[in-house]
Structure 1
Amino acid sequence: MTTDDLLELLRRHLPEIRASLTAAQFSGFQDSVLRLRAAGDDARAVRGAVRQVRLALLPLPRGMELRRRLDQFRSGGTAPSAVLPDTDRLAELIRLLDSVDWPTLDPESAGIARAVRERLLTAPARGPEQLTGPAAEDPTGSGLIRLSDPERGDRYPEFQFDPDTGEPRPVVQRINRMLLSDQDPWGAADWWLGGNTWLRDAPAALVGRVPDARLTEAAAALIGDGGW
């Protein structure tokens, strides 16, 4: 899949993208597309911008066709000369982004998002009073996922912590930063706690059981680090 294929995919699915993202998330998606325009004919900058587009769309529900297509978009499969987008196609996408006022969230997408959040909040987690050291002072700055529970307040999924020391696991902190968990904690938590075809299990269940490098590679494959 080339960059132009991606642009066409985004154009076709714009209504679903807008309906499934919050206003802040959609604004971040728009910024990533503008970054793609600013990259011009710099292939390296274009690859970085495409990576940001994909990261901006991580909050999309996994059941969406677009999310499945994006997850299949592997890194390293496009020659540098094919990465540069068609300027007219990119301009048309930006025009649509600027001119169309999509509804914030349709009922079906809202139901999917609510179900995902409810599932993630059932996972074992600790409250802020259980954090210690730097993590207690600045949890998200320390690379921890923070989920907001309307009844219990902030929750920090338990898989992030070493069961012996109670301290944050360095590999989890590193991957959380790769997944931009400070901007999209729900998307990052969904990656850790959901099934992963690359690893054949939920990544959270494999922490400490498989080499840290394998978990990091799986996260890099998702976001297209090193290519797309």
Structure 2
Amino acid sequence: MNPEELLTLIASHWPDIRAMLDDEERELLLARLEALAATPAEDRAIRRAVQGVRLALLALPPGHPVRSAVDGTRLAGPVWVASGLTEQARRLHARLTDPDPPADTAEPADILAAVRERLLAEPSFSPEEVRERGVGDADGLIHLDDPVRGPRYPAFQFTGEHGGPIPVVRTVNHLLLADEDPWGAADWWLSGNLWLGGRPAALLGHLPDDLLVGAASAMLEGD
């Protein structure tokens, strides 16, 4: 589970979260959400703020869906996180602290849906088109479930017009746990990266593979 999904889960379970936390624990969680909402667009700062939210949720009893999600939550897509996750945290904090939120306040699920829509709008291939490229083993490749078109493989993972998978893509996808969190991995590739100075997908073939692997590894070190 990635951080935006964790915030969506908090929103959906807020009534029982509020009941299970005492006043001090509840205020701490709200303060951590507020801190995340105010965090500047800096990768390490975002990771620290997300960790603060995770730690505040450890007060929930074992077995609670949100508590169970905490250990599996990881960070992907630094610049999208800065622009999308902090906005989601701001809206969530406003919703949880304002008994009568503005009518135009978007639900966290709406924000997540918009991100997924953006990712699905990127060039991609169907499973049939992937097989036509001679790919017999799609392990290590990101595929996203489009509710209209079915499974889609983002096109950046392949070389040229008819080529197969790019080896470093599979390496990075493994680091990003793309098999467990394909949306987070796709967002890392298709969002701007403060360290690399651009979208990793657009930098394939222009930067040494080691830099791409290093950028993905460095992002995960803060989890």
> Which of the five TM-score ranges fits, normalised by the shorter chain?
0.5 to 0.7
Q: Which residue matches 1:204?
A: 201
2:158/2:166 contact within 8 Å kept: yes
Residue type matched to 1:98 in 2?
A: P
Matches within 5 A, 1:19-168: 19=10, 65=37, 71-72=43-44, 94-98=58-62, 108-132=107-131, 136-139=135-138, 142-163=139-160, 166-168=163-165
Q: Which secondary structure does the structure 1 equivalent of 2:168 belong to? A: helix
Identity of aligned residues (%): 44
2:39/2:45 contact within 8 Å kept: no
- Aligned counterparts of 1:66 and 1:20: Cα–Cα separation in 2: 19
How far does residue 18 in structure 1 lie from its aligned partner after superposition? 3.0
Moved more, 142-151 or 163-172: 163-172
Q: Which residue matches 2:75?
A: none
- Aligned counterparts of 2:128 and 2:112: Cα–Cα separation in 1: 28
Residue type matched to 1:129 in 2?
A: E
Find the partner of 2:178 among 172, 178, 181: 181
How far does residue 130 in structure 1 lie from its aligned partner after superposition? 1.2
| Structure 1 residues 160 and 20: alpha-carbon distance in aligned structure 2, compared to 1, 3 A threshold | farther
Q: Which secondary structure does the structure 1 equivalent of 2:145 belong to? A: strand
Q: Which secondary structure does the structure 2 equivalent of 1:154 belong to? A: strand
Q: Which residue matches 2:97?
A: none
1:19/1:109 contact within 8 Å kept: no
Provide TM-score, normalisation by structure 1: 0.56
Q: Which secondary structure does the structure 2 equivalent of 1:96 belong to? A: coil
5+ unaligned residues in a row in structure 1: which ranges?
Answer: 1-9, 22-63, 76-89
2:125/2:153 contact within 8 Å kept: yes
- Aligned counterparts of 2:146 and 2:128: Cα–Cα separation in 1: 15
2:140/2:173 contact within 8 Å kept: yes
Residue type matched to 2:180 in 1?
A: Q
Moved more, 215-224 or 158-167: 158-167
- Aligned counterparts of 1:100 and 1:160: Cα–Cα separation in 2: 37
1:196/1:202 contact within 8 Å kept: yes
| Structure 1 residues 190 and 111: alpha-carbon distance in aligned structure 2, compared to 1, 3 A threshold | same
Q: Which secondary structure does the structure 2 equivalent of 1:177 belong to? A: helix
How far does residue 108 in structure 1 lie from its aligned partner after superposition? 1.9
Q: Deviations over 1:166-200 (max 9, x none)?
A: 11000000000000000000000000000111111
| Structure 1 residues 128 and 68: alpha-carbon distance in aligned structure 2, compared to 1, 3 A threshold | farther
Q: Which residue matches 1:55?
A: none
Q: Deviations over 1:27-78 (max 9, x none)?
A: xxxxxxxxxxxxxxxxxxxxxxxxxxxxxxxxxxxxx649979941699xxx
Coordinate RMSD, CA, aligned: 3.7
Q: Deviations over 1:106-156 (max 9, x none)?
A: 8621011000000000100000001239985542xx210000101110000
- Aligned counterparts of 1:179 and 1:122: Cα–Cα separation in 2: 21
5+ unaligned residues in a row in structure 2: which ranges?
Answer: 13-35, 48-54, 70-91, 93-105
Find the partner of 1:172 among 169, 174, 178: 169
Provide TM-score, normalisation by structure 2: 0.57
